[in-house]
Amino acid sequence: MIVRQTPDGVEVLAPAKLNLFLEILGKRPDGYHEIETLMVAVNLHDRLTFADDPSGAVTLACDDPRLPTDRSNLVVMAAERLKTSTGSSKGATITLNKVIPAEAGLAGGSSDAAATLVGLDRLWGLNTSVDQLGSMAAEVGSDVAFFLQGPAAICRGRGEQVEPLSLKSSLHFVLVCPPVGVSTADVYRSLTPPERPRSIGAVIEALDHGGPAALGRSLFNRLQPTAETIRPALTRVRDALAELSHDLEFSPPLLEGHLMSGSGSAYFGLARDLNAANLAAERLETLGLGSVRVITCGP
């Protein structure tokens, strides 16, 4: 997350996330699923601007007409949670410029909510502690707290328990966002939790001590088969990334591994380096699978 002071207020760049590992440990009594996931923030950003409103009202404008701008939007929910928790009577006009696709497993809405907590806290001069903001974030949504910690973390519970990790080097990905989305609720509703959940240990070890090849072998997402059953057309994206992971024209292959992020519908390929990511993107752009981008995580 990048926060900037502007002449009119505050600007925040809210990053997308990728799940490098996602396992379902079971279903909770409250209806949510217990998860264990390794997430990283990447340089694909929504942009939010915050300006003071002396009336005390909070209003949201968005350049994507498909998104609501009322209290059902996580941005407005986060703003109201911050006001209630701190007792602030201040207001703001919020402008959201969307870049992160919706229903793609990239947590754009959650990232926007985290950006709102940080941006309004700065705009209003509240100086709220990180722990307090984290508690508010957990109340707003499952993935929101991650974006207050980034750029990498293990998240547990329903996603609100965040254990930050450091990244020793940059990771380069090619991201494919198909034109269709997948409902997170539908995926979880159709999912059967495993009897023996997979351990997260291998992917943490690869992130700490291995290179892209070791990390690529450790990628895992329990939700992917279910999402692909709901949207069978998505397997075209999976198969195209798999081909680039085994293309004999390149040695080593352009991609070290590939995965769906979250509940989909976006997929990513982990490239051996930035040049390989750019070459993979050129190949994928010719296939008509959706929007293709090269993205990076890390220092």
Q: Is 98 a catalytic residue?
A: no
Task: Tell me the mean pLDDT in the region 272-296.
Answer: 96
Q: Do 90 and 219 belong together in one domain? A: no
- Percent of the chain exceeding pLDDT 90 equals 91
Q: Do 145 and 42 belong together in one domain? A: yes
Q: What is the pLDDT of residue 246?
A: 83
**Phi-psi map region of 176: left, alpha, beta (phi>0 left; psi -120 to 50 alpha):** beta
pLDDT band, residue 187 (cuts 50/70/90) = very high
Q: Do 14 and 135 belong together in one domain? A: yes
- In the chain, the number of structural domains is 2
Residue that finishes a domain, picked among 149, 164, 179: 164
Residues 6+ apart with CB under 8 A from 95: 48, 49, 60, 61, 62
Catalytic residue chosen out of the listed positions 17, 83, 90, 98: 17
Q: What is the pLDDT of residue 203?
A: 96
Q: What is the pLDDT of residue 248?
A: 62
Residue-wise pLDDT for 95-145, tens only, equals 999 999 998 999 999 999 999 999 999 999 999 999 999 999 999 998 999
Q: Do 31 and 122 belong together in one domain? A: yes
Q: Do 6 and 112 belong together in one domain? A: yes
Residue-wise pLDDT for 23-46, tens only, equals 999 998 988 899 999 999 999 999
Q: Are strands 33-53 and 9-27 parallel, antiparallel or unpaired?
A: antiparallel
Q: What is the pLDDT of residue 209?
A: 85
Catalytic residue chosen out of the listed positions 53, 90, 143, 186: 143
Find the length of the chain.
Answer: 299
Q: Is 143 a catalytic residue?
A: yes
Residue that finishes a domain, picked among 121, 141, 164: 164
Q: Do 185 and 277 belong together in one domain? A: yes
Number of H helices, E strands in the chain: 9, 12
Distance of CA 55 to the CA centre of its chain: 33
> What residues make up the domain containing 136?
2-164
Query: Is it the case that residue 228 has pLDDT exceeding 80?
Result: yes
pLDDT band, residue 298 (cuts 50/70/90) = confident
User: Strand, coil or helix: what is 72?
Assistant: coil
Whether pTM > 0.85 for this model: the answer is yes
Residue that finishes a domain, picked among 164, 197, 230: 164
Q: What is the pLDDT of residue 168?
A: 86
User: Strand, coil or helix: what is 20?
Assistant: strand
Mean pLDDT, the chain, whole residue set? 95
